[in-house]
């Protein structure tokens, strides 16, 4: 089993993650979406809540693949920094040029955090940690991040002595500090799902991926069994922890890190078992998408936002005209029409991914 094949297995999971991400982000009508494709309002998990932690987990696996045999030097650090800055820059570009929130009209209200920004930060920090710390040190650090974050958010009082909560309010630590540091540059006035403070435990999501990457690149036999065991362990600890520190994507709670990483590991174990151990072909669709994951995600967001902003006549935008003209039919539920729109968008990007793959075009950010 070569490293190339193992990366292809991870590409499959990466591609699956991006496909679900596009599905979640591009419904025909945000007012009519099946509940599993919407994020949990606060505590809890839906399909949509798995997408981002899965991607950061895969970032960690990729870091272990790429830097396993590397000796850190100025050249490596420069490449890591440049890639991180590119990701952050692309995210800020999306926020500034095509803002998420219609009332954003100036720099004073432009959102600063975002998905690509968090990926860039997490990639940088995790890469540097991996290059400079032992496996044992990384495990201790990961545990320290998760436990420390729990104690911080749940038990350390605010200045003045007020008791913190884990509710969606100004008196949870994540929102309190984001408001102090970001002010009006947040997704919503009461929280930002990619805020500054919740980025800290998201690094732990990538570090769990690093540990899984170490398993995949090891010489041990039947790696899928080790993955099954590790995934089950992460799930068990995560769900037990959720009894006192609820599963919460917006806060990126410690239990959320473990549960989402646990599910990602179990899914990867299944993919690994089928494709690498039993050598059963699952098709190449997700591999095509995974090979150009970032550019496809960026393109989907850019085009989607463009469609929302460009008017067609006085009544429609490009998006609303396409949706209502092509996908809305009498007798068909609005939820299904909205889902159908998203599925067609996915087909489009899969075709783009296929063309890029066949032409051996791999755009790395």
Q: What percent of the chain has pLDDT over 90?
A: 66
Are 221 and 144 in contact by the 8 Å Cβ rule? The answer is no
Are 30 and 102 in contact by the 8 Å Cβ rule? The answer is no
Of the listed ranges 2-16, 136-150, 153-167, 267-281, the least confidently predicted one is: 2-16
State the average pLDDT over residues 135-158.
95
Q: Which residue has the tokens 């790429």?
A: 66
The neighbour count for residue 284, using CB atoms within 10 Å, is 17
* pLDDT above 90 (res 106): no
* pLDDT above 50 (res 104): no
The distance from CA 120 to its chain's CA centroid, rounded to whole angstroms, is: 11
**Length reported for the chain:** 365
Are 303 and 317 in contact by the 8 Å Cβ rule? The answer is no
3-state secondary structure of 242: coil
Could you tell me which residues come within 8 angstroms of residue 93 by beta carbon, excluding any fewer than 6 positions away?
none
Radius of gyration of the chain (CA): 21
Q: Which two tokens stand for residue 78?
A: 């420069």
pLDDT at position 354? 94
* pLDDT above 80 (res 283): no
**Position 55 confidence tier, pLDDT thresholds 50, 70, 90:** very high
pLDDT tens by residue, 71-86? 888 999 999 999 999 9
Of 27, 24, 28, 25, give the one whose Cα is nearest residue 321.
28
Helices (H), 162-315: 173-182, 199-216, 223-241, 254-272, 285-290, 293-309
- Residue 275 DSSP class: I
Could you tell me which residues come within 8 angstroms of residue 133 by beta carbon, excluding any fewer than 6 positions away?
141
* pLDDT above 90 (res 311): no
Measure the CA dihedral 80/84/85/90, to 10°.
140
- Residue 28 DSSP class: S
Confidence (pTM): 0.92
CA atoms within 13 A on the CB side of 291: 20
pLDDT tens by residue, 148-183? 999 999 999 988 888 888 988 767 899 888 888 888
Of the listed ranges 26-35, 183-192, 193-202, 252-261, the least confidently predicted one is: 183-192
- Residue 194 DSSP class: T
Average pLDDT, the chain: 89
Could you tell me which residues come within 8 angstroms of residue 85 by beta carbon, excluding any fewer than 6 positions away?
120
**Position 99 confidence tier, pLDDT thresholds 50, 70, 90:** very low
Q: What does the alpha-carbon distance between residue 171 and residue 177 come to, in Å, rounded to a whole number?
A: 10
3-state secondary structure of 140: helix
Are 86 and 365 in contact by the 8 Å Cβ rule? The answer is yes
68 vs 104, higher pLDDT: 68
State the average pLDDT over residues 186-195.
83
- Residue 157 DSSP class: P
pLDDT at position 180? 87
Could you tell me which residues come within 8 angstroms of residue 267 by beta carbon, excluding any fewer than 6 positions away?
13
3-state secondary structure of 353: helix
Q: What does the alpha-carbon distance between residue 5 and residue 319 come to, in Å, rounded to a whole number?
A: 39
* pLDDT above 80 (res 305): yes
The neighbour count for residue 173, using CB atoms within 10 Å, is 20
pLDDT tens by residue, 57-66? 999 999 999 9
Between helices 199-216 and 223-241, what is the axis angle to 10°? 160
């Amino acid at each position: 089993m070569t490293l190339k094949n193992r990366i292809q297995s991870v590409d499959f999971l990466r591609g699956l993650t991006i496909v679900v991400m596009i599905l979640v982000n591009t419904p025909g009508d945000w007012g009519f979406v099946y509940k599993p494709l919407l994020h949990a309002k606060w505590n809890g998990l839906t399909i949509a809540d798995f997408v981002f932690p899965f991607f950061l987990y895969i970032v960690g696996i990729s870091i272990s693949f790429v830097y396993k045999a590397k000796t850190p030097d100025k050249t490596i650090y420069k490449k890591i920094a440049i890639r991180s800055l590119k990701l952050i820059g692309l995210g800020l570009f999306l926020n500034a040029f095509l803002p998420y929130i219609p009332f954003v009209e100036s720099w004073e209200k432009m959102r600063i955090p975002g998905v690509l920004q968090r990926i860039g930060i997490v990639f940088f920090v995790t890469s540097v940690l991996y290059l400079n710390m032992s496996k044992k040190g990384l495990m201790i650090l990961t545990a320290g991040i998760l436990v420390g974050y729990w104690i911080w958010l749940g038990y350390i009082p605010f200045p003045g002595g007020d008791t913190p909560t884990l509710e969606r309010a100004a008196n949870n630590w994540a929102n309190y500090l984001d408001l102090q540091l970001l002010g009006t540059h947040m997704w919503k006035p009461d929280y930002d799902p990619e805020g500054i403070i919740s980025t800290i435990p998201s690094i732990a999501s990538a570090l769990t991926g690093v540990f899984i990457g170490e398993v995949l690149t090891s010489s041990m036999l039947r790696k899928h069994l080790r993955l099954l065991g590790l995934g089950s362990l992460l799930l068990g600890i995560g769900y037990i922890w959720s009894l006192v520190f609820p599963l919460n994507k917006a806060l990126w709670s410690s239990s959320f890190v473990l549960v989402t990483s646990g599910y990602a590991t179990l899914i990867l174990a299944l993919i690994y078992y089928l494709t690498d151990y039993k050598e059963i072909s699952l098709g190449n669709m997700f591999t095509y998408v995974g090979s150009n994951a970032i550019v496809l995600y960026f393109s989907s967001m850019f085009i989607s936002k463009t469609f929302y902003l460009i008017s067609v006549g006085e009544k429609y935008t490009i998006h609303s005209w396409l949706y209502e003209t092509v996908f809305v039919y009498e007798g068909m539920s609005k939820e299904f029409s909205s889902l159908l729109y998203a599925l067609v968008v996915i087909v489009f990007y899969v075709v783009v991914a296929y063309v890029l793959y066949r032409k051996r075009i791999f755009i790395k950010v």
